[in-house]
Chains A and B, each alone.
Chain A
Amino acid sequence: MKAVSAMMAGLLFGAGLCISGMTWPSRVVGFLDVAGAWDPSLAFVMLGAVGTYAASGYWIRRRGAPLLASSFERPAASTLDLRLLGGSAIFGVGWGLSGYCPGPAIVSIAALAPVTLVFMVAVIVGMLAAKRIV
């Protein structure tokens, strides 16, 4: 039951990424290329996602507890620190270079393109390195 609902959420999330255009690295980079032929349409992805999540999340949290778990996950850290700023800055460089953030890259595994598969292996290696180094 837990796995089925989580898979449903993943399917829906991936569907949203496909519908929105986030699975096209050229469009992502077109959105980030403010100085070039800027394509602002992907800003509406964030607008739709944040708006929907903010409204529904407010009502969900008011329930007190999730349906199949004892409590809501609360991110531990609450202050701005060098890890947050530095890590986010590094992630942005990789995102700008590739046009892939983690979600769309995983959805794109389905196309079995060698570039995407090697990219995801490098993502995993980068995550392992982060655990070891920082």
Chain B
Amino acid sequence: MSFLTSLAGGVVIGLASALLLLVHGRVAGVSGIVGRLVDGRRDTVAIDLAFVAGLIGAGVTFGMVAGDAIGPAIMTRWSSVIAAGLLVGFGTRVGNGCTSGHGVCGIGRGSPRSLVATLVFMVTAGVTVFVVRHVLAVTP
């Protein structure tokens, strides 16, 4: 069952990314979109703000329709929350993409750079989970 909902959700993500490409010619990379807003880029601000508003709007809508649409955070220490956020923001900006930009759009258009980036962050994420859960055995 969860395989089917995951596949269906993935198809919807792919269609949403295709819509942004078809209408605006832009890559649906969330870290790139947020990064442009943080940088104060004027030329894309309307599209970028609208996309982010749509993301939050989906969370609001699904939160109302299905009570379990958004899961609770797994982190319990503020030091972990801040460290993880800094790493995600810094890393996606330096690496020029995240799960959506590299993992979906980049691989989807056959970019070797994005394929390598995705493999790298999958591996370091997996190693991090292994160390936290099985070596240190702590709650982050």
- Report A's interface with B, CB cutoff 8 A: 2-27, 29, 32-36, 39, 41-54, 56-57, 60-61, 63, 65-73, 75, 77-80, 83-103, 105-111, 113, 115-116, 118-131, 134
Q: A61 vs B27: C-alpha distance in the bound complex, in angstroms?
A: 12
Q: Which residues of B contact A77 (CB under 8 A)?
A: 96, 113
Q: Once the chains bind, are B134 and A35 in contact (CB under 8 Å)?
A: yes
Q: Which residues of A contact B7 (CB under 8 A)?
A: 44-45, 47-48
Chain B's closest residue to A95 (CB) is B125
Q: Once the chains bind, are A102 and B57 in contact (CB under 8 Å)?
A: no
- Report B's interface with A, CB cutoff 8 A: 2-3, 5-28, 30-31, 34-35, 38-39, 46-63, 66, 69-75, 78, 80-100, 102-113, 116-118, 120-130, 132-134, 140
Chain A's closest residue to B83 (CB) is A97
Task: Write 12 A-B pairs (CB below 8 A) sorted by A numbering.
Answer: A12-B12, A15-B58, A16-B13, A19-B5, A20-B6, A25-B72, A32-B128, A33-B130, A45-B6, A48-B8, A73-B26, A98-B85
Q: Once the chains bind, are A45 and B72 in contact (CB under 8 Å)?
A: no
Q: A71 vs B21: C-alpha distance in the bound complex, in angstroms?
A: 10
Q: Once the chains bind, are A126 and B86 in contact (CB under 8 Å)?
A: yes
Partner pick for B52 among A10, A45, A84, A130, CB 8 A cutoff: A10
Q: Once the chains bind, are A119 and B84 in contact (CB under 8 Å)?
A: yes
Q: Once the chains bind, are B99 and A23 in contact (CB under 8 Å)?
A: no
Tell whether A87 pairs with B92 under 8 Å between CB atoms, given A20-B9, A57-B109, A66-B25: yes
Q: Once the chains bind, are A106 and B55 in contact (CB under 8 Å)?
A: yes
Q: A107 vs B54: C-alpha distance in the bound complex, in angstroms?
A: 9
Q: A17 vs B69: C-alpha distance in the bound complex, in angstroms?
A: 9
Chain A's closest residue to B117 (CB) is A88
Q: Which residues of B contact A13 (CB under 8 A)?
A: 12-13, 16-17, 20, 28, 30, 51, 54-55, 58, 100
Report the minimum CB–CB distance from B82 to chain A (whole Å): 5
